Amino acid sequence: MGEGVLMGAGRRVGGSASQAALLDDAGLVLQHGELAMAGVPLSGIAREVGTPVYVYNAEAIRNRFRALDLAFAAVPHRICYAVKANSNLAVLRLLRDLGAGADLVSAGEMQRALAAGFRPEDLVFSGVGKTTAELRMAIQADVGHINVESLEELERLAVIAEGLGLPASVGLRINPDVTTETHPYISTSKGGIKFGVPHDQVGRAADLILRHPLLTLSVLAMHLGSQLRDPGPYREGLERLVGLLHLLRSRGCTTVRALDLGGGLGIRYAEEPGLDPAELAAVVSPLLEQAGPPAYFEPGRFLVGSSGLLLTEVLYRKHSGGRDFVIVDAGMNDLLRPSLYKAHHEIVEVAPAGREVATVDVVGPVCETGDFFALERALPRVEPGELLALLGAGAYGFVMSSNYNTRARAAEVLVDGGRMAVVRPREELADLFGRERADPFAAATR
């Protein structure tokens, strides 16, 4: 689109082509001089709900789901949304209504998915550290399958199934030892890390399942990591899954019904584009067609990340030690990614005023030097009381938030076709300590 951000009916505000793409992905347009999402002015949301507040665009989520679904139309497949990315019940219901299954990593996520209306058979229970209680719950709920990640977990699952006298459908999540280009904290497919059954232990794991009367090996799975932009590692990992499938078939295993490629599809946060699902399909579909079983995908960030933003109010401007600071009312407890990963989130004015651009640090009120959203970022001058939107915050935003500094967690709002709904109210401060006891031993000493 070139320089400038195309907004609505030909309206432009200053910005880069990458910023234009981010705004378009989120469904943000300029209406009457200010940003609106799905026809709802962001300033109106701030007035009604307060800040900080997360805002998600339902239609943007639908568009991402349809793009991935269409890319793999030529091969049988199922999209199982990774609940860890954004577990709001309204978001889950939206994806369920689109036909998605759900990928879970805890009992809490299982309960959320069931509460949102997902059928148990459409659930995938993953995670490297499932407890005995969680495995028992998954078996009793009769989830679609349980992805085990170690021999020890598999042995525990077998004991639990025997104790309950109930069958369990098992997926083997393999560590394919494939190198990916992503942040080391979100790389999950190299040897020597906690994720997946090591390749040299897969045979023993498969033998245990095949011999057990209550366990069925139904899925071979992998997960390469998060925020991946190159489709090449997916093909490399899939080749190893297919090789394992052929080996199991040669040993008489006929129960594998799907190959699970995991998630990790990257999205745009700045200049670099995300992973185009059509490019991924072009790389892996021929191999899937030859292999036979349907494919499972477990995207999280790809489906919801671009759809959301964090809306925050400017509190102060400050100059110190040669640096200019913009202090906002959102903090690292609301959006941890910049502090944890030094992750980039584009920051835009809600009501662009055409002021001069300067280099600033955008920081929050939390008592940590690491409480920042952007360092040495070029932004137009903003004043106290004005609103900023942090883009690309629909995934790993609210779900990673905390009450550090006894701060109430933000509200969440869903917008769709000109309507808005508060899908999670802002926490009340009194609720943060309402179940605590200031004098726990008082009764015992009377």
Burial class (CB in 10 A: 0-12, 13-18, 19+), 243: exposed
Q: Which residues contact 6 (CB under 8 A, 6 or more apart)?
A: 12, 20, 24
Residue 14 has pLDDT above 50, yes or no: no
User: How confident is the model at residue 185, as a pLDDT?
Assistant: 37
d(CA 181, CA 160): 38
Residue type, 150: S
By percentage, how much of the chain surpasses pLDDT 90?
A: 79
Domain boundary assignment for the chain:
5-57+305-431, 127-297
Known active-site residue 80: no
Catalytic hit among 10, 192, 319, 367: 367
Average pLDDT, the chain: 91
Residue 177 has pLDDT above 60, yes or no: yes
Let me know: does 115 contact 89? Beta carbons within 8 Å.
yes
Question: pLDDT-based confidence at 15, cuts 50/70/90?
Answer: low
User: What does the pLDDT average to over 42-69?
Assistant: 98
User: How confident is the model at residue 275, as a pLDDT?
Assistant: 94
For residue 351, the surrounding DSSP H or E stretch is none
d(CA 442, CA 419): 51
Q: How far is CA 252 from the centre of its chain?
A: 37
Which CATH number describes the domain made up of 127-297?
Answer: 3.20.20.10
Helix pair 132-141, 107-115: axis angle to 10 deg: 30
Residue 10 has pLDDT above 70, yes or no: no
Do 5-57+305-431 and 127-297 have matching folds?
A: no
The DSSP output letter for 102 is E
Task: Count CA atoms within 13 Å of residue 13 on its CB side.
Answer: 24
HEC profile of 188-242: CCCCCCCCCEEHHHHHHHHHHHHHCCCEEEEEEECCCECCECCCHHHHHHHHHHH
Residue type, 136: R
d(CA 286, CA 282): 7
User: What does the pLDDT average to over 81-98?
Assistant: 98
Query: Two tokens at 438?
Result: 């200031």
Residue 183 has pLDDT above 80, yes or no: no
DSSP β-bridge partners for residue 387: 313
Residue 196 has pLDDT above 90, yes or no: no
User: How confident is the model at residue 446, as a pLDDT?
Assistant: 56
Residue 203 has pLDDT above 90, yes or no: no
User: How confident is the model at residue 443, as a pLDDT?
Assistant: 67
DSSP state letters, 396-429: SSGGG---GGGPPPPEEEEEETTEEEEEEPPPPG
DSSP state letters, 163-197: HHT--EEEEEEEE------S-GGGB--STTSSSSE
Place of tokens 């990593």: 105
Of the ranges 101-105, 192-196, 305-309, 387-391, which one carries the lowest mean pLDDT score? Answer: 192-196
The DSSP output letter for 83 is G
Q: Pairing relation of β-strands 28-31 and 123-125?
A: unpaired
Query: What is the CATH class of 5-57+305-431?
Result: mainly beta
